[in-house]
Chains A and B, each alone.
Chain A
Amino acid sequence: MDVGLLQTLNTERAARRAAILVSPLDGRPQRLIKHSDSWQDDPLAEALERRFRSGKSGIVEIADGPDLFLTVQVPPPRLVIIGAVHISKALVPMAQIAGFDVAVIDPRGAFASEARFPADILHADWPEDVLNTAPLDPFTALAAVTHDPKIDDYPLISALKSDCFYVGALGSRKTHGKRAERLQAAGLTTSQINRIDAPIGLDIGAASPEEIAVAVLGQIISALRKPTEIGE
């Protein structure tokens, strides 16, 4: 492997951007495909798309050449929770156990207290301020659970525009109907708005905040591992 190629790959990984290293197994020169490149016309486009989605490395056989090994580097999944509420208190440790990097954002000091949440994941600021510094990306799930449009709407819009792999919002169907109207007025398309999972969580009859957290995490994992079923 060329050191320059390795440096570029590591730069992409450090910036939470996906990339695939294509290695001919007969030792011919490798090439690096960044997710942000226009690889749709690449001879390997189909395999690249599948592997960017699955995140799995593996061998690809081609008709006129040596077998290729695709080293797939996608960022670890992240969960950004808007709202330091009761559901979040249960969702944070569950998501961490399941392997997610977790962040909680809530501008309301009474909720976002370090007595309630670990300091290293808590951001007692407006979502606008936090997300401008650390933007959302396709390998991030966003769950908005404050019930307050002043806090939830901006990150929901940002998540849909950033193509987050999961976007969920707490609230009844009626609440969500009003939310959909606001988001439409903000310029989002119907298909973007339909990506929001609302009412949030798998339909398992969850009653307590802790049970709702299970339902939300289950749905996030489903969106991560079975992405084709989103929005169907």
Chain B
Amino acid sequence: MQEYQARIDGPVTGLDVLSTAEDWASAGRKAAIATVIETWGSAPRPVGSHLVIDADGNFEGSVSGGCVEGAVVTEALDVIESGAPKILEFGVADETAWQVGLSCGGRIRIFVEPLTGAAG
């Protein structure tokens, strides 16, 4: 019976990005959440995918197949520092703003926001 309850409630595991974000905040770690808000072409991760990043550059989750996470983490450190959200855009056609591209040829927009307030 207990097992059934657990399944119905849906396991919120350590791999769940938003739960990880909450855990980090509860532990007093400063963090930012990056979310894929728009995709064009063959983007590796769907709209709504999350990456959570802390002030030391640790991260969980993914917003691409690993192509742009490094750049997102760098920008997220900036967002944690300044407290102001940012919108990032990545794609092979967009060489001017970003050196990092998606090898699959797709394009993605990512919203990076700080996690604010105290855990209650």
Cβ-based interface call for B92 (8 A): no
Q: Say whether A121 contacts B48, CB under 8 Å.
A: no
Contact B37 A59, beta carbon cutoff 8 Å: yes
Binds A, one of B1-9, B55-63, B66-74, B100-108: B1-9
Is the beta-carbon distance between A25 and B111 smaller than 8 angstroms?
A: yes
User: A-facing mask of B1-44, CB < 8 A → 1, else 0?
Assistant: 10111011110100000110110010000000101011000000
Q: In the complex, are the beta carbons of A123 and B1 less than 8 A apart? A: yes
B12's contact among A3, A14, A71, A101, by CB below 8 Å, is which?
A: A14
**Contact assessment for A133 and B33 in the assembled complex, using a CB-CB cutoff below 8 Å:** no
A162 CB to nearest chain B CB (Å): 12
- Write out, one digit per residue, whether chain A residues 1-45 have a CB within 8 A of any chain B CB (1) or not (0): 111101101100111100000010101000000000000000000
Interface size class of A (residues with CB under 8 A): 20 to 34
Contact status A1-B48, CB under 8 Å: no
Question: Within the complex, what minimum Cβ distance (angstroms) separates A123 from chain B?
Answer: 6
What residue in chain B is nearest A130 (Cβ atoms)?
A: B4
Q: In the complex, A6 Cα to B21 Cα: how many Å?
A: 8
Minimum distance in angstroms from B13 CB to a CB of chain A? 11
- A33-91 interface with B by 8 A CB criterion: 56-59, 69, 71-72, 75-76, 78
Decide: B38 and A134 in contact? CB cutoff 8 A.
Answer: no
Which residue on A lies nearest to B87, using beta carbons?
Answer: A25
Chain B residues, Cβ within 8 Å of A183? none
Q: How far is the CA of A16 from the CA of B11 in the complex (A)?
A: 10
Task: Contact check, A103 vs B7: say whether CB atoms are below 8 A apart.
Answer: yes
Given A6-B22, A13-B12, A25-B111, also A72-B4 (CB < 8 A): no
Contact in complex: A57, B47 (CB < 8 Å): yes
Determine if A229 is an interface residue (Cβ-Cβ < 8 Å). Answer: no
| Alpha-carbon separation in the docked complex, A123 to B115 (Å) | 41
A10 in contact with B18 (CB, 8 Å): yes
Contact A13 B18 (CB under 8 A): yes
Q: Which residues A113-151 have CB closer than 8 A to chain B?
A: 120-121, 123, 125, 130, 133-134
Within 8 Å by CB of A72, from B1, B18, B48, B119, lies B48
Shortest distance in angstroms between A59's beta carbon and chain B's nearest beta carbon?
6
Bitwise interface map of B from 78 to 115 toward A, beta carbon under 8 Å scored 1, else 0: 00000011010000000000000000000000010111
Kindly report which residue of chain A lies nearest to residue B12, judged by CB atoms.
A14
Q: A10-B12, A130-B4 are in contact. List 13 more A-B contacts (CB 8 A).
A: A6-B18, A7-B120, A23-B113, A56-B48, A58-B38, A58-B48, A75-B10, A101-B7, A103-B8, A120-B3, A123-B1, A133-B5, A134-B8
Residues of B within 8 A of A (CB): 1, 3-5, 7-10, 12, 18-19, 21-22, 25, 33, 35, 37-38, 47-48, 84-85, 87, 111, 113-120
Give 10 A-B contacts (CB < 8 Å), ordered by A residue.
Answer: A3-B25, A3-B119, A7-B22, A14-B10, A15-B9, A75-B10, A101-B8, A121-B7, A125-B1, A134-B8
